[in-house]
Amino acid sequence: MDTILAGIGDAFTLMNFAYIAFGVFMGIMVGAIPGLNGPMAIAVAVPLTYYMDPLAAVAFLIGINKGGTFGGSISAILLNTPGSPESTSTAFDGYPLVKKGKGMKALKMALYSSVTGDIFSDLVLFTVAAPLALVALRMGPPEMAAVFAFSLTIIAGLSGKSMLRGLLAAILGAFVACVGLDIETAQPRLTFGMGELIEGVPIIPLTINLFRFRGVTIRPLTIGLLALSEIIIQVEARVLGREKNVGTYNVFGKDIPPEDKRVSWAEYRSCLRTIIRSAVIGTGVGAMPGIGAIVAGFLGYGAARRASSNPEEFGTGKLEGVAATEAANSAVVGANLIPLLALGIPGSLSAAILIGAFLMHGVDPGPLIFREHGRLVYGIFAAMFMANWINFVIGNLGLRLFALIVSVPKSVIHPVVVLLCIAGAYANGNSMFAVAVMMVAAVFGYLMRKFDFSFATFIIGFALGETFEQSVRQSVILFKDQPLDLFTRPIVVFFVALTIFSVWRILRSNLSRPLRPQAAGAPREATS
């Protein structure tokens, strides 16, 4: 209890408050711009956290994630163009509400339901994470290897339209993680004679002496895969004339009745059952690695429609539809940290990037984090609750500003994003090698998007690759004389069986699908 209270006390400082507020503001602003999203903002912002203390750094990035999730709903409602993939179903009823002159009401309902779903998810995280970590501590290397293998197949299977491509992306990511020094023999492998790859570039800029992934860094990798490849896709769509243009509507006009600019308590209460249902769905989805917020949003929306006495009204401008989607996808944010903190398994792309922030500050996510850094963990929990209320306040006060952001020309946005990407990569030990890695990753990410391969799965596979390899090697050492003893461990048998079944289903359902390039401007995979 003393650890919990101390952690909560650490969170409630003026400096942490300022960092969280800035993170939420940045997240909403970036999320509101079509084509940009929370994970991209987190990837670009990570270098800013180097000189922060661990609690402030993680709280700042979580604030970006929470703000970005709500921010995506702004362009979805106002432009019928989701700022982030998880807000896709928000547009179903949000944009019709705008056309009815109720755009501000839709935006505020999106904010209120988003905050409510987020709070619910954080409460579950606070309750479940520590007991799950205690269970994980009783698991040896064979059990962890089996869990990692199953997680990778599940993540691969649920990412993108093709499970086979997701599996191949995960395998490729794990393979890239093998570049550098062998963890057992310390011999260089897959370095191609490049000295920069012997020790590897640090996972986060400026962290050369703290932690290294062998080989290619996740930091320039994520910048290239997420940000630069997205810019290339958007520029291509614009050049080819495939950019989507949607009419805009005035949601702040004086001729709009006051009741259409706010959400009354009665309206919120009428949607409360839907919000809670969606929050439960989003929390469950978020706790399972790899499914993602976009799935949660559609599931929440579908559940609300099935439970409604007037399902035909959904899609025509029903406030309940906005509430259902936003509560579900926001609930994923907190729940994604359950497998990350308890098992060291990132449940989403955002969580995979957060691993880098933890490692940069000398904190290794996984079951031992509650024992070794318990005070920090509970400080993060408290900061997450702070971020929810800050999100509520900033969202309410800044709606006019954020609504204007969606109209910023991409000719202004693109150069700024490219400049930030180059600066963030170069900050990686003041190395042009990191910039080169980022450029290669951008081209690679562009090709993955064109052929509908899951770059999110690639990054998660890369993040888990080293840990997975270590668990497998430890298991081989422990059972090399009696390998059949592995089948006496129920957890190993259970997860190996699930992994084999998952791979079989993936191969069976996707092996015959052709690899077809994706058209520019076409919908792409979720990156949450």
How would you write 119-181 as a 3-class SS string? HHHHHHHHHHHHHHHHHHHCCCHHHHHHHHHHHHHHHHHCCCCCHHHHHHHHHHHHHHCCCEE
Q: Which amino acid is at 404?
A: L
Count structural domains, the chain: 1
Q: Quote the domain boundaries for residue 180.
A: 2-253+262-510
pLDDT attached to residue 158: 55
139-148, 206-215, 363-372, 408-417: which has the minimum mean pLDDT? 206-215
Residue 464 lies in a domain: yes
User: Is 228 inside a domain boundary?
Assistant: yes
The whole model's pTM is what?
0.69
C-alpha angle 132/136/138, rounded to 5°? 125
Residue 38 lies in a domain: yes
Residue 523 lies in a domain: no
pLDDT at 426: 65
Strand partners, 188: 181
Q: What is the mean pLDDT of residues 35-47?
A: 75
The predicted model gives 9-27 an average pLDDT of 91
Question: Mean pLDDT of all residues in the chain?
Answer: 76
Distance, CA of 275 to CA of 320 (rounded, Å): 8
For every residue of 219-273, DSSP letters joined together read HHHHIIIIIIHHHHHHHHHHHTT---------SS-TTS-GGGSS--HHHHHHTHH
Domain annotation covers residue 527: no
First to last CA, the chain: 33
Quick one: tokens of 376? Answer: 């920090």
pLDDT surpassing 60 at residue 57: yes
68 vs 83: CA distance, rounded Å? 9
Residues facing residue 180 across a β-bridge: 189
Chain-centre distance for alpha carbon 205: 20
| Res 393: pLDDT | 93
37 domain-assigned: yes
Residues 94/73, Cβ–Cβ less than 8 Å: yes
d(CA 497, CA 492): 8
C-alpha radius of gyration, the chain, whole number: 22
The DSSP secondary structure of 165-184, one letter per residue, reads HHHHHHHHHHHHTT-EE-TT
pLDDT of the residue at 20: 93
CA atoms within 13 A on the CB side of 469: 20
Paired residues of 189 in beta bridges: 180
- Dihedral (CA of 446, 448, 450, 453) sign: negative
Neighbours of 446 (CB within 10 A): 20
The Cα 87–Cα 104 span in angstroms is 17
**31, 69 contact by CB (below 8 A):** yes
Q: Residue 159 has what DSSP assignment? A: S
Task: Report DSSP letters for 283-294, one per residue.
Answer: HHHHHSTT--HH
Residue 526 lies in a domain: no
pLDDT of 289: 64
The whole-number pLDDT of residue 347 equals: 66
Position 518 in a domain:
no
Q: Which residue, chain included where needed, has tokens 């439970």?
A: 307
